[in-house]
Structure 1
């Protein structure tokens, strides 16, 4: 299809002119490059162009530069995602052009898993289009346009399905796509698709300057928001984000579970954002030789090797390792085989935080050495107060990224988070000097060069002790020696230790997204006994990014992008099912469904 036929039914570029966001959905994966070119050539273009493309896994086999020699195709090829299923978010032109690639076995099914408000759809209809048209109606913005290709036999069925879903179809023309516009005369959906937060000004408060808060501040600032970043410490990354190094990697399980899919999406998105920071000359002290995971048992190693083969993961994502293979990569003896993540490794959390703040410093106002005692909403804006009742800052949007303290400020139902004390150990040079890559399993070991080896960490639930314990060092050494036997064969000398407190939930999933209006939910408890996440009343302008446990490095960047997308009404960067698994309101929702909350 020529570009004129592709875009004429959508009345581009006049419909995106001077808009803040314009979203184009394409199930043929053919529109992105020509649409990007048109956007670049238009001085009155929208501020942000989102293209959501749906494709099967084999669409990632080869980047487009082999067929298209243009500079934009080459730029897309450089950003080409790894060949794994799920949602990949790629950003161009300083984040103003965003390609969200949704990769699955079936385009129609994959589209239905997303959550977005679309201004235009370009479709290839096949099979029964009724389910597809219902999905379009759930996502369609005001006057959203549809341009659909279909076989001669399918065109009447598609036309009827569009009309029954609230679309008005243009007269049918031979040898031309079917064209329609969303103009429902009756209610065709239960929930409105995402809309931007009702903010009188593009200003936000972020509480907490660790990995979560710095990432949120960065993603909002990148969209033009002015952010007041509040933390009780003098500098960023002082609590769990202040460890000398942290490991990052996806997880591979015997099934492609929600946790595995979420962590895969977060890992790949973090790699892209970190690379952008490094391209801007920020040193993140990131290792580059991969990360090795040692299986708990030989049977687990065999089972995961079978899973890797069954899911056909590419070798640049994960590789099964025999014991000999693992020892060769590690540079030291290992107890068992496992699997190797070539793109995994270790990184400095504090350097990531510093780079994110420096990269967006013009739009971030830090308020350090500041404790927030309470927050209040006056129906229009959020206000933060210190212990003496003095106002610290106010804004229409506030994000709680302060780990354990978020539950207190938000008054969350059922105390869903707990504190876990983690003590790590830095060993002097010795038995693990030859270790080449970070190794994880029952514990973790990260080579620090001349500074020795970082190992850890203990997992002490609800233990508030901040003192470093010799028993904790012995526990760390014993656990790592179970993976790396050389550690048990030579004397070890502890150089240093550190204690930090992780924030976790009972289901070990983070709390990311808009918080519920729990008072309103309690008043309507009976009506909400069969509720779904979209049914819950939400606190306007109140979001959370906390309870990351031991995975803050992997989860923080995607969490920030999800929250920024929710605030701006943009397409979500992950499937809705995954977003619901980390919804801060999920524990309240379960209580409502189980009848544990009575109507107030």
Structure 2
């Protein structure tokens, strides 16, 4: 960072964050963390500070390993260093001071990443010299996410004044530094940046009903409670984590594909954020019963192994995130002979979903009211309040916000067009004292094998679309063992009586595109009545049902996606910076199937 930028004030008028619930600062170049550390320190020392400080910054990949320990703030510098994320292209969300200071790092090329961010920024630090002739593009990108009267501070540049003026900023003074304020005299953007839901403005109205107490519902409970929301958690079972979230263990790992697809990027963001949240829960003394030795994925073929190895190199994925391994190295990692080469995730592993749910509910503390053994028959919206009724029509609870996290039943309560979700039956098989004893790390690929202890291995799982059979079937055990045997040769010839094996059946929900449903639900009747105008709509154009959100259809990736889903919904409710790029949020938008129908003219 040059001296001009380093000596700039923290922002023009520090009183602007006084008494605010949220205040967002955006920096176009995160250079070793200097400005973030200074801002964090100033926030701590200011008795009139905002309740939650968001600092969002672009960071170039080559700078991901260039943190500094600043002698004037050694403790804060060390905290940042200790929590620094693995250097991969993604949006990284880090939280400090019990979540009151949030650092969101957008790692990657600034020109490609900046247009994908979605937030309402109150203050900007623009490093003009880093962009030069690209300043007009950068200024317009900043205008797209500027809050009303947002302030901007920049080092001077010959092209800056005109770029800012054209983007809707009014320049206050020009010298060695440039200060400006966002005050456009004409419309400079199609959509207004996100704002908090009206009901969040008053503390008494920050109340949400969460229907479903699995991984999704419990994660939402914890994320909203951390922001001072009251939660009424409703589930048809007598305790949390009784359906798929009640499995003995679940594996967690990102995915690597030949192209860095939307699914790969979303899974990467979810994996990294889940690791962060789990670490926070563990720091609070909760045992999540998770492994720490990594996870091994076995390729389906030698061709796939080579292609993924090439992708790892092409995308510059570091060994701390993933590394390709040949058959010999894979066998050494597994402690068992493996059929083919693959790739190893040092931070992957297995974890107890039920332990995660229990920890999240415990952290929510007094903000949480539970209503178990309660089956929701319908929900109703009237006068700005959602009301839930049981299957007999009796009142359960009411709140300004309701979040559907009840898997396959969510589309019924929401009345979604085209019934976009389907049920999936999954059967697990538990092996006691088998040839897989001593397996060192979880193995995934064509099935999975999880070493719960020295002599117990969990294998699975079947993937039976639209199968509603709740019984454990011998045929499911046979299928599970055959699939694992194609990865681990120790099971070849191992043929126990399938009737004697223990197992468990659970049901998941999936969509046709295998992406989850996360975010605000559309007002489908209103959209249909305006179908002609909305035939060319984008997600932000659609009418939404006020206060109705969803987090469901996670398929087999609930562990990876649930924490990120909860953070995204919390950010949408509070008008905070989103924890993922807008195109990723669009890919999981519950309204995407309705949007597709509108574009295809189904309602004309």
TM-score interval, normalised by the smaller of the two chains? over 0.9
Q: 1:519-534 alignment to 2 at 5 Å?
A: 519-534=525-540
Asked if 2 retains the 8 angstrom alpha-carbon contact of 1:431 and 1:492, the reply is: no
User: In the aligned structure 2, how far is the partner of 1:128 from the partner of 1:553?
Assistant: 40
Residue range with higher mean Cα deviation, 465-474 or 131-140: 131-140
Q: 1:64-83 alignment to 2 at 5 Å?
A: 64-65=68-69, 70-83=74-87
Query: Structure 1, residues 154-208: CA drift from partner, whole Å, max 9, x if none?
Result: 3xx32122222221111322x2x11111112222221110100111611111000
- What SS does structure 2 have at the residue aligned with 1:424? strand
Displacement of 1:495 after TM fit?
A: 3.8
Matched, 1:240 2:244: yes
Structure 1 residue corresponding to 2:562, chosen from 556, 568, 575 = 556
Matched, 1:52 2:56: yes
The answer for the alignment partner of 2:307 in structure 1 is: 303
The answer for the alignment partner of 2:415 in structure 1 is: 411
User: In the aligned structure 1, how far is the partner of 2:322 from the partner of 2:210?
Assistant: 35
Structure 2 residue corresponding to 1:370, chosen from 348, 368, 374 = 374
Asked if 2 retains the 8 angstrom alpha-carbon contact of 1:258 and 1:578, the reply is: yes
Structure 2 residue corresponding to 1:206, chosen from 185, 210, 215 = 210
User: In the aligned structure 2, how far is the partner of 1:530 from the partner of 1:461?
Assistant: 33
Structure 2: where are the runs of 5+ without partners?
none
User: In the aligned structure 2, how far is the partner of 1:286 from the partner of 1:172?
Assistant: 56
- What SS does structure 2 have at the residue aligned with 1:358? helix
- What SS does structure 2 have at the residue aligned with 1:191? coil
CA RMSD of aligned residues (A): 1.4
Residue range with higher mean Cα deviation, 588-597 or 131-140: 131-140
The answer for the alignment partner of 2:20 in structure 1 is: 19
Matched, 1:500 2:506: yes
Structure 2 residue corresponding to 1:123, chosen from 122, 126, 136 = 126
Structure 1 residue corresponding to 2:88, chosen from 72, 80, 84 = 84
User: In the aligned structure 2, how far is the partner of 1:8 from the partner of 1:68?
Assistant: 16
User: In the aligned structure 2, how far is the partner of 1:471 from the partner of 1:359?
Assistant: 41
Asked if 2 retains the 8 angstrom alpha-carbon contact of 1:428 and 1:492, the reply is: no
Asked if 1 retains the 8 angstrom alpha-carbon contact of 2:421 and 2:511, the reply is: yes
Q: 1:216-365 alignment to 2 at 5 Å?
A: 216-365=220-369
User: In the aligned structure 2, how far is the partner of 1:272 from the partner of 1:63?
Assistant: 19
Asked if 1 retains the 8 angstrom alpha-carbon contact of 2:5 and 2:127, the reply is: no
Aligned pair count? 590
Displacement of 1:558 after TM fit?
A: 0.4
Asked if 2 retains the 8 angstrom alpha-carbon contact of 1:263 and 1:554, the reply is: yes
User: In the aligned structure 2, how far is the partner of 1:22 from the partner of 1:83?
Assistant: 27
User: In the aligned structure 2, how far is the partner of 1:384 from the partner of 1:540?
Assistant: 15
Displacement of 1:28 after TM fit?
A: 2.2
User: In the aligned structure 2, how far is the partner of 1:69 from the partner of 1:313?
Assistant: 31
Asked if 2 retains the 8 angstrom alpha-carbon contact of 1:18 and 1:47, the reply is: yes
The answer for the alignment partner of 1:453 in structure 2 is: 457
User: In the aligned structure 1, how far is the partner of 2:495 from the partner of 2:597?
Assistant: 52
- TM-score (norm: length of structure 1): 0.96
User: In the aligned structure 2, how far is the partner of 1:492 from the partner of 1:574?
Assistant: 46
Asked if 2 retains the 8 angstrom alpha-carbon contact of 1:236 and 1:354, the reply is: yes
Structure 1 segments of 4 or more deviating over 3 A? 1-5, 66-69, 489-495
Displacement of 1:135 after TM fit?
A: 1.5
Structure 2 residue corresponding to 1:470, chosen from 467, 474, 477 = 474
Change (3 A) 1:134 1:289: same
Structure 1: where are the runs of 5+ without partners?
none
Matched, 1:566 2:568: no
